[in-house]
Amino acid sequence: MSDSTFLPFTRPDIDAQTIAEVGKVLASGWITSGPKVQAFEAQLSALFGGRPVRAFSNGTATMEVALRLAGVGPGDEVITTAITWVATANVIVAVGAKPVFVDVDPHTRNIDLAAVEAAITPRTRAIMPVYMAGLPVDMDLLYAIAKKHALRVIEDAAQAIDSRWNGQRIGSFGDLVSFSFQANKNITCAEGGCLVLNSLGEAEQAQRLRLQGVVRSGLDGMDVEAPGGKFNLTDINAAIGLGQLAHLPEVTRRRAQLAQDYFDAAAAAKLEALGIELPPPINSSGAMTNWHMFQVVLPADRLRGGRAAIMQALQDAGIGTGVHYPALHLFSYYRSLGWREGMLPHAERIGRSILTLPLFPSMRSSDPHRVCQALAQSCKRLLK
């Protein structure tokens, strides 16, 4: 099998004009944070209805800074989900707070908001929901819970650029909202992220914290009022982001088309009859996803060799897959904090059974059929 026939689970698409713009930045002599970052922030602010935005070197730094802006620190608790990239929990630990994991809704695979409210204690300072594969939670309920208990909300919207709730774009409302522009996201800077903020004052704080906390005055004045990190985005990355942002509407449309192709192909291949669970349908109540990923949940406990055997069979058929994500409360570090099997049964089942199928704009419309047919054949062969 040649590389040209292999279908990866994702592939970034950088056009020639964007590559040329990166070349111009490299030739300009200004390659770190500068005018391209400022232009990128301005366009992101416009996308999010004029809210202040600051760009960062990655979507992990954005969440750490958001926690610090929210005043979260030692002795505090932050409620989050166990089905997410481990960075979501790691940043809570990084500021000295305690991550409190709650279970997920088995249908949406997002954090169970009823479980969130039940987990609130006098030490809870914030809720950190994650929008799995770009699908928002019930935003009305989320913010009603936060308001009732006087909590900050730090939205891990890493995967949710251009997703909507009741027609409103995620990031255009709410509290602190973090996006990622890592290589496999719907738009990318190669590496990068941004934080949407509530006020210019918060934006100024975030700007200081992303570069060592430095405050400059005049030509030679420098002060540090609070220590920060080294989280600034470069103009090289911002030039990629600007080129990607111009294509966001067509990227979102194409992903939705491919998702529909998947649903049609899954029906033709009778995946659900094999015990394979599909993602929520395209018209979910109130929520519009950007289809960052198309994920199925396998009947892993009934498969010889489990999920890994399916992944190998698909790879042999020239199809790449991914795992997003294992239940992170069962990682060794979080076990050392007292988390155990059986505490979050939905998250644990999904974490050992979820499979990410290929989805990216340059795929052919026939590719979902190829994937679903191969998945069905593999599953039939491996079911106990």
Please report the DSSP string for 24-42 in residue order: HHHHHT--SSSHHHHHHHH
Q: For the ranges 129-133, 283-287, 309-313, 365-369, which has the lowest average pLDDT? A: 283-287
What residue ranges define each of the domains in the chain, with the CATH number in brackets? 16-245 (3.40.640.10), 248-382 (3.90.1150.10)
Whether residue 4 is predicted with pLDDT greater than 70 in this model: the reply is no
- Residue 1's pLDDT is what? 42
- The average pLDDT across 85-103 equals 98
Does pLDDT of 362 surpass 80?
Answer: yes
Number of H helices, E strands in the chain: 13, 14
Q: 24 catalytic, yes or no?
A: no
The DSSP letter of residue 319 is B
Mean pLDDT of 66-94: 98
Check 185, 270, 380, 384 and give the catalytic one.
185
Residue among 82, 91, 84, 59 at smallest CA distance from 161: 59
**CA–CA gap between residue 329 and residue 253 (Å, rounded):** 35
Average of pLDDT values for 246-266? 98
pTM (two decimals)? 0.97
